[in-house]
């Protein structure tokens, strides 16, 4: 059973439906027991970094997330769920994250528009990935595949070896990371049609 963590923000139902279309059972929950019993855990996210961290703390979800990761079970972060795994974010000030991956989330520079008028913030729409390292979740995903993005911030890991894919939007940024049992992506697989469903299928097929 896949548990999608409900902390009051994010596109939870679309993530659940994506997993169901990919052939996996999935629940939306903020119950620590459900998270503990799940074979796979997903941290999605849409919204402001600080608000999301506050909600994780208010719903007592930080410890279940840390325990799930320490247990070695497959863990997937999506969009803001990727950024929350990092040490901090500069969104509306400096705010501490879960500090599971060392590094920070930074904003795309407004100077992107001077490079190319098409480069608007937020980065919204389809863009391709360049595979740096290929975790099991990227099985049957071709280099150069297109995924759907909606974000104004991107992560900068201290250790570049955790980067799984990069994407170019005025600069090359880490569009997904892979460390041990953690895979997290800036793009939205649940909104990325066939290739996105393949990622959700692959994640659910990883043995816990």
Q: What is the pLDDT of residues 141-199, one digit of tens each?
A: 999 999 999 999 999 999 999 999 999 999 999 999 999 999 999 999 999 999 999 99
Q: Name the catalytic one among 88, 91, 132, 190.
A: 190
| Residue 116 reports pLDDT greater than 90 | no
What angle do the packed helices 12-21 and 193-205 form, to 10 degrees? 80
Active site residue 95: no
Q: pTM score, two decimals? A: 0.96
Q: What is the pLDDT of residues 96-108, one digit of tens each?
A: 999 999 999 999 9
Q: What is the CATH number that goes with domain 2-205?
A: 3.40.50.880
Active site residue 96: no
Active site residue 132: no
Helix (H, G, I), strand (E, B) or coil at 81: helix
Mean pLDDT of 83-88: 98
Q: Name the catalytic one among 24, 40, 151, 188.
A: 188
The residues, ordered by sequence, that sit 6+ positions from 200 with a Cβ below 8 Å of its Cβ are 18, 19, 21, 22, 24, 189, 190
Q: Name the catalytic one among 79, 88, 123, 185.
A: 79
Q: Where are the domains of the chain?
A: 2-205
Output the pLDDT for position 166.
98
């Amino acid at each position: 059973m896949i548990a999608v963590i409900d902390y009051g923000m994010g596109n939870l139902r679309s993530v659940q439906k994506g997993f169901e279309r990919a052939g996996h059972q999935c629940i939306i929950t903020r119950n620590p027991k459900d998270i503990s019993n799940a074979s796979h855990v997903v941290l999605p996210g849409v919204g402001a970094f600080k608000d999301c961290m506050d909600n994780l703390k208010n719903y007592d979800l930080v410890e279940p997330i840390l325990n799930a990761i320490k247990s070695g079970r497959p863990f997937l972060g999506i969009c803001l769920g990727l950024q929350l795994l990092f040490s901090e974010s500069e969104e509306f000030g400096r705010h501490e994250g879960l500090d599971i991956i060392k590094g920070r989330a930074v904003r795309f520079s407004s100077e992107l528009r001077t490079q190319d008028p098409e480069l608007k913030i937020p980065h919204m729409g389809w863009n391709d990935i360049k595979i740096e390292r290929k975790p099991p979740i990227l099985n049957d995903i071709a280099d150069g595949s297109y995924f759907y993005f909606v974000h104004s911030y991107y992560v900068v890991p201290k250790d570049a070896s955790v980067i799984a894919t990069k994407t170019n939007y005025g600069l090359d940024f880490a569009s997904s990371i892979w460390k041990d049992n953690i895979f997290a992506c800036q793009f939205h697989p649940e909104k990325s049609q066939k290739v996105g469903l393949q990622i959700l299928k692959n994640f659910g097929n990883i043995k816990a």
